[in-house]
Amino acid sequence: MIEKLTDWKKIDPRYKIQESIESLALFLPLLLLGWLLFWSVPSLDSDILWIALIGLFVLFLFSMTLIPRRFRSFGYVLRENDLMFRHGIIFYRQVAVPYGRLQLVDISRGPIARILGLCELRLVTAAASTGVRIPGLSEAVAAELRDQLIGLAESRRVGL
């Protein structure tokens, strides 16, 4: 099932939920800690703490607004001799991983991804810079893609 470069496959939309939960898990404790410091330690300079809290909250809102755009930036396509993967908003990256160079195809799941039924597919080659991580794949898609990539890698390595 080799496709053209214009047939980019997208990751699962539940990845936006995963990213939102991970952002909340990062920023919420920091915001709560700042809020508690503001009310419990009267000797702290309240102006600096307010500025820090507002800055952290703005950073959190900015992070949340970027999630849909980051989601749309992920894509992959299986071509004749390689897998093309792209991602990034500011730092755009597009990588071609030749099937014959694949050394490891790994599926991993963190706790939030597991609850949402998502996986991350990692492709490892001899060159560290071409390692690819495709997040936000459903379990079925990740398993099918892993099996397909392993089959393609074995058939391409025979000719080496």
| Residue-level pLDDT, tens digit, the chain, 160 residues | 454 556 899 999 999 999 999 999 999 998 888 888 777 776 666 777 788 888 889 999 999 999 999 999 999 999 988 999 999 988 999 988 888 888 889 999 999 999 999 999 999 887 766 678 999 999 999 999 999 999 988 887 755 5
- For the chain, the helix, strand and coil percentages under 3-state DSSP, each to the nearest 5: 55, 25, 20
Under 8 Å between Cβ of 8 and 86: yes
Residue 127 has φ and ψ, to the nearest 5°, of: -85, 120
pLDDT at position 158: 56
